[in-house]
Structure formats: structure tokens, C-alpha cells
Structure 1
Amino acid sequence: MIAYLSGIIKEKNPSSVVIDVNGIGYLVQISLNTYSALPDVGESLSIHTHYSVNVDVRSGQSQHQLFGFLDEQEKELFLLLSSVSGVSNNTARMILSTLSVNQVTEAIISGDVGSIKSVKGIGPKLAQKIITELQDKVMKDDALSKNYDSANNTIKNETLSALVALGFNKSAAQKVVDNLLKQHTNWSVEELVKQSIKQLS
């Protein structure tokens, strides 16, 4: 098992990166989110990894792949997603290339089928299956749920600050924002402010 790699980036593209570790080049499959955060070619990199072996039932041939993640949360979510029947490693990577870790976590916790099925190749049945099988697991995962709570708190605080700056009572605004967040977990600060003003006016 290869848990992580530390070396020099020799090549990189949106789907993979080649890392030179003491003269050996490792080809690592990555998501677009990880790619966007990579240093430049020639710079050093430490990356979390997951070594995967898939055996083709028909041919009996095995495929060995190394997947890389810049943080533990993305790796943990990748492993959870690929544990769902019907979600291959490449499908899990596609999900994490289309949506951020926080967006996937939020969609699973809130039961947002629409966000999951917005990923290419995922229909409503598979999206619902992902949510059904992973909702409890994600909520019990301290790192993922903490990230989700942190993101929600940031949105809530920014919304409250905007409403108070507009002259609304903070206590009244907080009740309205809390209720809206329970019903619409994926709303932006702008949308929350707009809808809060309607209810507070």
C-alpha cells in the first residue's frame, strides 16, 4: 500500500501528474480540484495516494492505478464514493472533478439528488443510491462533517453581517437565516440575503 508520495513534479495535466521520487516516476491519477491546486512542474510535492487494483471479470486482466489527493478529506470522500456499487474509481474522480469536497458533502448530507446527478454519467437512480448509502457515513465522519459545518457557518456569518449592515435586527435576522439554511443548504450568500430581506421586510 502506498499511502503518500513526496517528490518533484515532472509532468502534469488535468487528469494526472508524474512525480519523480528518487529517480522513479510515478503516474498518479488526480481530480480537477487537485490539479488546480498543484505547484508548477519542477517544484516539490507531497500527495496522499490510494493504490487500486481492478480485475476485469471477462478477460481476467488486472488494472493497477494510483490515485492522488492534496488533502485527506478528498481522499476519504473518494474512498466512500467508490465503495458504492456502480461507482467506479474513475466515476468517483469525475464527481470530485465536477464538484468540490464541500459541495459533494453538502449534497449527500442534505439529500440533494440534483447536484449529484449533474455529474456526467450519473443518473437519478445512482445519485439517490450514493446519498442513501453514504449519508450516515459522511455525517459520522468528523473531518467531512466538520468541513460541511464550517462552510455553512461561514455562509451564515457572511449573510448575517450583510443583513445587519443593511439595518436589520441581528436576532430576528438569525432566526430567518437559520430557517432558510435548513430548507436550502446549497444557497449562496447573495441568495440568502435576498430571500432574508423579503421575509424581514
Structure 2
Amino acid sequence: MIAFLRGAFTYKSPALVHIDVGGVGYELQISLNTYSRIEQLESGVLLTYLHIREDAHVLYGFFDKAEKDLFIQLLSVSGVGATTARMMLSSMKPEEITRAILQGNAKQLESIKGIGKKSAERIILELRDKLGKSREETINFSSLTSNTLEQDALNALITLGIARPAAENAIKKVMSDGAGSDKIEDIIKKALKII
């Protein structure tokens, strides 16, 4: 499907943006969070999610991966649709929603329009473990994500079919041995020898 769109923002509102990509105009539903990030921009990149319903195909746009990932996680909760997920992301920042879920703070989620007590409890119940695991992975791998060269090497190894933990360990070993290089190809080759 459509992973992202890069182009000129021809129309922007707090809920909707039109993006011109090579002469084709795409309409994307966005959250207030994304709008605040693109409000001053004339062009840019938005990550997308195509939501297929019986009566429509709706394209949603996100400024960053964290927001898109949380949107998809929220859709996995029974009773939470795309409109509710977008409302949540418009009411709170993705990290605030994640924190509320991880802390089991149903009251904070209930403060969002359209989220009642039962919905808030269901979201916490269904997403707490999933978000906790992804947060642990982020913390464990944060040393690599700060270096884009290492991150690119990691992504390449994963694309080649290497399990993420093995790829992580190999890259860390290559870099700690001082065998790192300014070239991503060298890092990947040395990491492949270790795996």
C-alpha cells in the first residue's frame, strides 16, 4: 500500500490536509498533533495508513512513526475505530497516551471525547503489554538509534532476514571492537561475519 507521501501541502486544516504529489492531490485525515507539526510547512513528508471500510477508503496521515504506530495499535482494540483513534491523537500527544496506558491511568483516557470508562479500561487491558514490550525494545536499542549509520546498518541486516536481536548484538560488537567504519557497507560486512 501507500507508505508515505512527499509533496506540497496545498490545503491544511486541523483535521485534513491535501498534498500534491507530482500533480496528483491526495486527501489525508490528520490529527491535531500532526497539524501542529506541519502548520508552518509548505511541503513535507507524511507517513500514511489506508483504512478500508465498506463504504470508503480513507487515507490517514502522520507526521512521525510513533504517532502512526500508536494509531495502528489503537485500531487493534475492539470498539476503537479510526475516528476514535484520531480523536485520541488529537486530544493527547502519542507519548502521553502511551504513558497513560502503561500506568493504567483510565481517568486520563476518559478525559478524551468519545472514551468512556469501559473503553479506557479495554484500551489499557489490550495495549499495556504490547506497548510495554515495544517501549523496552526502544530503551534497549536507544544506543543504536542515536547513530544513523548504525541504525541504517541495523535496518539493512533486518531486511536481509537477520533477527533483530542478533543484528543488534553484531553491530554493537563491530562498533565496540573499534572495527567500525565511515561506510555502512563495511559495518554490514563485519556484522555478517559475526552472525
On the 8 A contact 2:18/2:26 being kept in 1, the answer is yes
On the 8 A contact 1:6/1:21 being kept in 2, the answer is yes
Whole-angstrom distance in 1 between the partners of 2:37 and 2:47: 14
The alignment partner of 2:10 has SS state of strand
Q: Which runs of 4+ in 1 moved over 6 A?
A: none
Where structure 1 has 5 or more consecutive residues not aligned to the other structure, the ranges are 56-61, 150-201
What TM-score do the two structures reach when normalised by structure 1?
0.66
Could you say which residue in structure 1 is the equivalent of 2:130? Answer: 137
Verify: 1:8 aligned to 2:8, yes or no.
Answer: yes
Could you say which residue in structure 2 is the equivalent of 1:102? Answer: 95
- Cα distance per residue 1:152-181 (max 9 Å; x no partner): xxxxxxxxxxxxxxxxxxxxxxxxxxxxxx
Q: Relative to 1, partners in 2 of residues 1:79 and 1:90: Cα closer, same or farther, differing over 3 Å?
A: same
Q: CA RMSD in A?
A: 1.7
Whole-angstrom distance in 2 between the partners of 1:103 and 1:5: 26
Whole-angstrom distance in 2 between the partners of 1:117 and 1:140: 24
Where structure 2 has 5 or more consecutive residues not aligned to the other structure, the ranges are 143-195
Q: How many aligned residue pairs are there? A: 140
How high is the sequence identity, in percent, across the aligned residues? 46
Whole-angstrom distance in 2 between the partners of 1:13 and 1:144: 35
Could you say which residue in structure 1 is the equivalent of 2:66? Answer: 73
The alignment partner of 1:126 has SS state of helix
Could you say which residue in structure 1 is the equivalent of 2:177? Answer: none
Whole-angstrom distance in 1 between the partners of 2:11 and 2:108: 32
AA matched with 2:47: H
The alignment partner of 1:134 has SS state of helix
On the 8 A contact 1:74/1:101 being kept in 2, the answer is yes
